[in-house]
Structure formats: C-alpha cells, structure tokens
Amino acid sequence: MKLLEGKTALITGASKGIGRKIAEKFAEHGANVAFTYLSSVEKGLALEQELQSFGTKVKGYRSDASKFDEAEKLINDIVADFGTLNIVVNNAGITRDGLLIRMTEEQFDDVIEVNLKSIFNVTKAASKIMMKNRAGVFINMSSVVGVRGNAGQANYAASKAGIIGFSKSVAKELGSRNIRTNVVAPGFIKTEMTDVLDPKVVEGWEKDIPLRRGGETDDVANCCVFLASDMASYITGQVIPVDGGML
C-alpha cells in the first residue's frame, strides 16, 4: 500500500543521513520528490539518479534555505516543475558544537540561521501554496536535544527548541486551512556523522536508551511517512520523539 500516492513532497537537506532516507521512503510510497542539497553536489545528483527507480517524478535542487530569497525561489521552482506542493519536510541542519564559554558569535548565528531561520523561510513560502490548496503537511525536524538540552550544544538546542515553538504556533495559525504541522524529535540515530565516533562513546549512549540501541534512519523516515499520510489526518501541533525511550 502506497501511503503518499500522487503527492508532491519537498525534503530539505536530503543528500545524506536522515534526509536521504526520508526522500527514499517517500518515493517508495508513491510521492513525487523534490529535495535540496547544498555542499554535497555529487551525493545530491546520485540520490536523484537512485530515486528514479521508484517510478515517480524526482528532482534535486541546489539551494540554501537559510537565505529568504533562495527559499522563495525554490518553492516557485518546485511548483513550476511539479505543478503543486503537498508536503514539506524541513530537515536541513548543522551543528557547531562547543561549550558556551568558548562558543563564538559566528558559531551561534550559523546554527540559528541554518536550523531555525530556514524553517521560517521555507514554511512561509510553501504555506501560500498550501493555503490556496486548502491542504498541506509540514514536518519539522527537531531533536531530543531541543527538548532536554545538552552540554556543549547551547546553539543547537536553542535552534531545535525554537523549531518546536514555531511549529506549534504555525499549527494553530494554519489548522483552519487543513494544513497540519508536526515535529519529529530524533534521539541517537546512526548516520554518517555517528560512524566516526569512538565505539565506546556510542556504547555509553546506548546504555542510557531504554531500548538499549541507537535508532536507524529508517525509524525516523517511517514516522515521517505516517505523519505525511492521511493516516495522521487528525494529528497536528505535536512533537513525536523517535528516540528509543530517551525522553
């Protein structure tokens, strides 16, 4: 059963990790997929090739969603290429970790720009299309760190907590137009970023997770498929942790 048949979805920051898996699962479930990448051009082009095999329309865009004008152009380009836009997964994000005492203004600003401002930019542009359609779904990627904080990640935690407040507000504003907005808060998920960590560090983290293991990108992507589909048609303004019980 294809849960997203005939829908057009945008996934930002999809060249690797969680974003890549979401793009894959959406195409598998029958969605036409537009996705963005920024620095990983080769990975972006490879993903575009790979997703063709699902038989839906797929196109990658090199775009920096943290720039207001670029986000607006992106949405206009997608509507021109695909005809409409039904689902947006705001996934693009970066980390610039460091203790507050050593954190530079630039490290703070960069993370807020890419992680939080980009969601404002893309959501504002895409909501115009969805309001005309009187239907749409936003899924915004936060983190358990946005809920409970983390030493050495004040900038990241602030950006991810901001996403929650922003999304709950948008859910209230756009609900009357049948536009749903939810947040996914992944815990410790195994990606290219975690592959480089010391196995002992990973083991230590896994001990604190009730399910005693890290999550897979599949786990997050499956949650996003559900939230994007009509199965979740009465769910909005919620934060769904995908964290093995950490929260």
Residues in the chain: 247
Query: Digits of tens for pLDDT over the chain (247 positions)?
Result: 899 999 999 999 999 999 999 999 999 999 999 999 988 788 889 999 999 999 999 999 999 999 999 999 999 999 999 999 999 999 999 999 999 999 999 999 999 999 999 999 999 999 999 999 999 999 999 999 999 999 999 999 999 999 999 999 999 999 999 999 999 999 999 988 778 778 888 888 899 899 999 999 999 999 999 999 999 999 999 999 999 999 8
Q: Which domains does the chain show, CATH number per domain?
A: 8-189+217-241 (3.40.50.720)
Give me the pLDDT at residue 39, please: 83
Q: Label residue 86 exposed, middle or buried (CB < 10 Å: 0-12, 13-18, 19+).
A: buried
- Do 11 and 20 touch, CB atoms closer than 8 A? no
Which DSSP string corresponds to 17-81?
Answer: HHHHHHHHHHHHTT-EEEEEESS-HHHHHHHHHHHGGGSS-EEEEE--TTSHHHHHHHHHHHHHH
Quick check: pTM over 0.85? yes
Give the residue from 78, 20, 17 showing the smallest Cα distance to 45.
Answer: 20
Q: Which of 37, 61, 156, 234 is catalytic?
A: 156
Note the pLDDT of residue 197: 79
Q: What is the pLDDT of residue 204?
A: 85
Is 234 annotated as catalytic? no
Q: Any residues with CB less than 8 A from the CB of 244 and at least 6 apart, and which? A: 187, 188, 209, 210, 211, 212, 213, 214, 215
Q: With beta carbons less than 8 A apart as the criterion, state whether 117 and 66 touch.
A: yes
Query: For the purposes of burial, counting CB atoms within 10 Å of the CB of 134, is it exposed (0-12), middle (13-18) or buried (19 or more)?
Result: exposed
Given this model, what pLDDT does residue 159 score? 98
Q: Report the pLDDT value the prediction gives residue 195, as an integer from 0 to 100.
A: 80
- Please name which of 66, 62, 120 lies closest in space to residue 88, comparing C-alpha atoms: 120
Which burial class, exposed, middle or buried, applies to 216 when counting CB atoms under 10 A from its CB (0-12, 13-18, 19+)? Answer: middle
SS3 for 243? coil
